[in-house]
Structure 1
Amino acid sequence: MITFTSVFCLILAVSCAEIAAGEDECLQTSCSKNGPIIRFPFWLKDSQPSYCGYPGFDLSCTENQQTLLELPISVKLYVKEINYKSQVIHVYDPDRCLPRYLTILNLSSSSFQFNQNRRWEYTFFNCTPRNIYLGYNGYSIPCLGNSTYQIYLIYSSTYLGEMPFSSCTKMFDILSFPYDTVAQNNELLLNWSKPECANCEAQGKNCRLKSNSTSLKTECYPDFEENKGILLFTVVCVVLGGSLLLVIVVLVLYHVYRADKADKENQVKIEKFLEDYRALKPARYTYADIKRITNEFKDKLGQGGYGTVFKGKLSHDIIVAVKILNNSKGNGEEFINEVGTMGRIHHVNVVRLVGYCADGFRRALVYEFLPNESLEKFIFSTKGNKHVLGWEKLLNIALGVAKGIEYLHQGCEQRILHFDIKPHNILLDDNFNPKISDFGLAKLCSKDQSAVSMTACRGTMGYIAPEVFSRNFGNVSCKSDVYSFGMLLLEMVGGRKNIDLEVENTSQIYFPEWIYNHLEQGEELRICIVEKGDSEIAKKLAIVGIWCIQWHPVNRPSMKTVIQMLEGGDNLAIPPNPFSSTTAHRTRTIIHANQPEQKLPVISEV
């Protein structure tokens, strides 16, 4: 008995749901929140079946959510308003030039007619003078003219002998067109006579086609009938549900529903992740997800002032690095900056942001895992073997980093300035391919900006460009990243930091200056050379590095030029000496002494 009743209720529920769904298809709709209401005789051909409306009354939605009416001979107008009681539709030209359709607008094969009874005949003239006074005899049509001529129309009944048309050419005549359309230059009122639904609207009822009629006859019906399927299902279930048997059936169905819902939710999560993963879009995780991914933060990879990094797994095949951010900066500016910036980036030399967590005060970033950690680990080796990667690999790494920076500057919709290029932020995959990471200090700007505004210094001591500290050297721009990249190249060449902030004796020679002195004097760089040709690679990296750290931004090459230099031959020109002036020496001393949070005056946007 229980089984039979359960099956019966399920069949009844499915049947009633199908009826309700059929009614829902033809419910009134719209293309946008403030757009005109669309109901019979109109129908939305993008989302409704044709039987929801009357033939010839199909509308569609544009990409910008405007309601579109297409009249014969490809005249496409936007719908401003539909008055169902008076059976009038108000349309307009989105380009504000409705007169351009006057020669092709023919409503004889349309379901609509001109609403205005007041109609005129017009003649169009093409005139070389652009300022002709017509008085009340006609109008100029600015949208049809250009800088060399102007289009005018006059009433055909006007005596041309009195008009200043000596430099004009007659174009064509328009017969019987509404006066208001020409005068307003953009809007048009149309009405329809069939189907006749105004009487239904007057009774507060809706209008529709008769269900079993083949002659397109209409009928009125009350609003509540739209929901008759749902009401029927409710009534039948109430009739059948007066007994304990129905309670048991409902409990069984509820149990099945919960189990099915749980399975579907899990499947949706998996499908959403796979979709986001394929589309390279960062996914949002809860803090519980982060704990599961990191196995309760079991495998710690590193720790710094920004937070702690843990190794995690999204699946058996996908390993990630999860950065748990410190809570000291409650406004989350760097967190929002990094998520917003990295969500736009898809490049082989930029670390991909897989997802993020913003669960209350807990914040985390989920990156692709790079097993070889940072470039800093290899070029600042403490075991004496400073160039374990080999010079050929170092050149490939430098070229990859340059291509990543060039993509940030030119390849994105908006230019991205990183402001923290350094070996610690260059990560290496299992094939030692470089990827730029850590966009917490990045700044977005349009590509046509030659300068950006900054109120505080951004970056790490030793890699910050001079103009960030003193505007005497120029404006802050993408050339600031070029400077940081140059310092990175020189550290790759020397296998040591250019500036050691822990050293108190600042009188020792500045390492980039030491490199320049050797290049200028034609001396070999005293560095580790193993293979034939290593010295040429080291010299190329050093020359490009010195070009990039020129004190004035205007003297530094663009990243595109840097790539060409790295990919080109070995006969690169020795750059000018950036350390010769006393100003450069004094500024270098200031850079060493200043703190990174120094406030700066605002530079106006260009």
Structure 2
Amino acid sequence: MDASILLEIIFFVSLLTQTTSHAETNSCQPSKCNLKSSEIRHPFRIQGLHPQHCGLPGFQLFCQQEKTSINFPDYGDLAVKSIFYDSKRLELVDPRNCVHEVFLNLNLSRTPFRYYHVLKQYKYIKCSSKIPSPLVQFVPCLSTDDSVHGNYVYTVELSFAVPGYCTTVKSVGIPFSYSSYLSDDSFGLELTWDSAGEDENIEAWRIQTYFKASAKIIALIFMVGILLHAKIIRRCMGSSGDKIQRKYDEIEVDIISRGQYEALRSPMVDDIDIVCNYIP
């Protein structure tokens, strides 16, 4: 084999290996929105940093002002405080500092997540004045504490007797009722997810990677075939041209010496043309 052909084949194989290796090892590498944030890896992915196959559906995160965030279609954006992959725990923070607004409105039924803590059914009630009882406290971030036009929202147990000046807003399962002793932006706002589907997704990603690598190898073989074909044609043309020229020189001498112009139709010349014609 011609040394130049061998070098070109080695170059293409090396290029393909590096490209495939880089795609497999680097495209889904863990990443962060900032140095202090949690490491993001499978089943999560960061939009714009990881290809789509790096994460499961519904696990897409994004960086917003160097903070990791997640969007819930029925609610909006929440900030990611930390992710614990071993225990499958996602800690979130409400940017509006009102975790009970999240409890009230967040619908997880269309997501792969559920609350990490055990839920208990509570009622959200809205009252035109404060309930005179030390057993319940209104939620400040959902209420308007005004002596004239007061609007007070409480989380109470289902058995609670709702006063006449209050109306029930919604009954919902939440991790905790409101307490002034608890953080109002993140306490209880922890989610978890099932492992079902992770193995299938990883296997699907491996199959997809395999077929992509196979396609690249086939393309490489095709390129090498074209290269070899071109090299062979070039060599044939060069070799045949030299042989034809030498033959015509011999024929020319023969013509001059014997005057037999029919020698121009020598079988050897025709055979050389036939050999080259075998190459498309």
**TM-score normalised according to structure 1 size:** 0.30
Pairing 1:110–2:111 present: yes
- Correspondence 1:171-570 to 2 at 5 A: 171-179=168-176, 184-187=183-186, 188-195=189-196, 209-211=202-204
> 1:77 aligned to 2:78?
yes
SS in 1 for 2:79: strand
Other structure's SS at 1:179 match: coil
Question: How many residues are aligned here?
Answer: 199
| Equivalent residue letter for 1:144 | L
Map 1:555-594 to 2 at 5 A: none
Match of 1:39 in 2: 41
Deviations 1:304-327 (A, max 9, x none): xxxxxxxxxxxxxxxxxxxxxxxx
Tell whether the 8 Å contact from 1:142 to 1:150 is kept in structure 2 after alignment.
Answer: no
CA RMSD in angstroms, aligned pairs only: 3.1
List per-residue Cα deviations over 1:501-549 (Å, max 9, x = no partner). Answer: xxxxxxxxxxxxxxxxxxxxxxxxxxxxxxxxxxxxxxxxxxxxxxxxx
1:121 is paired with a residue whose SS is strand
Distance 2:111 2:18 in 1: 37
SS in 2 for 1:174: strand
Determine whether 1:28 maps to 2:26.
no
* Pairwise CA distance, 1:52: 0.7
| 1:83 partner amino acid | F
- Asked whether the equivalents of residues 113 and 191 of structure 1 are also in contact (C-alpha less than 8 Å), the reply is yes
- Residue 140 of structure 2 is matched in structure 1 by 142
Distance 1:181 1:29 in 2: 36
> SS at 1:55's partner residue?
coil
- In the alignment, is the contact (CA less than 8 A) between 2:125 and 2:156 conserved in 1? no
Q: Which residue of 2 aligns with 1:55?
A: 57
Identity of aligned residues (%): 20
Separation of aligned partners in 2, 1:18 and 1:180: 54
Q: CA offsets, 1:444-481, max 9 Å, x none?
A: xxxxxxxxxxxxxxxxxxxxxxxxxxxxxxxxxxxxxx
> Greater relative contact order (Cα 8 A, min sep 6): structure 1 or 2?
2
Please report how far the alpha carbon of residue 126 of structure 1 lies from its aligned counterpart in structure 2 after TM superposition.
3.3
Letter paired with 2:74: I
**Paired residues of 1:61 and 1:67 also in contact (CA < 8 A):** yes
- Counterpart amino acid of 2:82? E
The secondary structure found in structure 2 opposite 1:155 is strand
2:13 aligned residue: 12
Measured in 2, the distance between the counterparts of 1:180 and 1:42 equals 30
Distance 1:27 1:107 in 2: 28
Secondary structure at the counterpart of residue 90 of structure 1: strand
> What is the rounded CA distance, in whole Å, between the counterparts of 1:142 and 1:4 in structure 2?
77
Distance 1:159 1:169, change over 3 A: closer
Aligned equivalents of 2:21 and 2:89: distance in 1? 31
Change in Cα spacing, 1:65 to 1:212, as seen in structure 2 (3 Å) is: closer
Matched residue, 2:166: 169
- Partners of 2:125 and 2:167 within 8 A in 1: yes
Distance apart, 1:113 and its partner CA: 0.8
Instruction: Indicate conservation of the 8 Å contact 1:45/1:60, yes or no.
Output: yes
Instruction: Give the CA deviation at 1:11.
Output: 0.9
User: C-alpha separation between the residues in 1 aligned to 2:66 and 2:168?
Assistant: 37
Query: What displacement does 1:75 show?
Result: 2.6
Q: Tell me the secondary structure at the aligned position of residue 210 of structure 1.
A: helix
Q: For 1:180 and 1:26, locate their aligned partners in 2 and report how far apart those are by CA, in whole Å.
A: 40
Partner of 1:91 in structure 2?
Answer: 92
Tell me the alpha carbon deviations over residues 422-445 of structure 1, each in whole angstroms, 9 at most, x when there is no partner: xxxxxxxxxxxxxxxxxxxxxxxx
Unaligned runs of 5+ in 2: 214-280
Q: Cα gap change, 1:181/1:28 in structure 2, threshold over 3 Å: closer, same or farther? A: farther
Give unpaired runs (5+ residues) of structure 1: 201-206, 217-228, 230-606
> C-alpha displacement at 1:97, in angstroms?
1.1
**How far off its partner does 1:87 sit?**
1.0
SS in 2 for 1:139: coil
Deviates most, 86-95 or 149-158: 149-158
| C-alpha deviation, 1:196, in angstroms | 6.5
Distance 1:177 1:89, change over 3 A: same
* 1:127–1:152 CA contact under 8 A, matched in 2: no
Does the C-alpha gap of structure 1 residues 19 and 180 become closer, same or farther in structure 2, counting only changes over 3 Å? farther
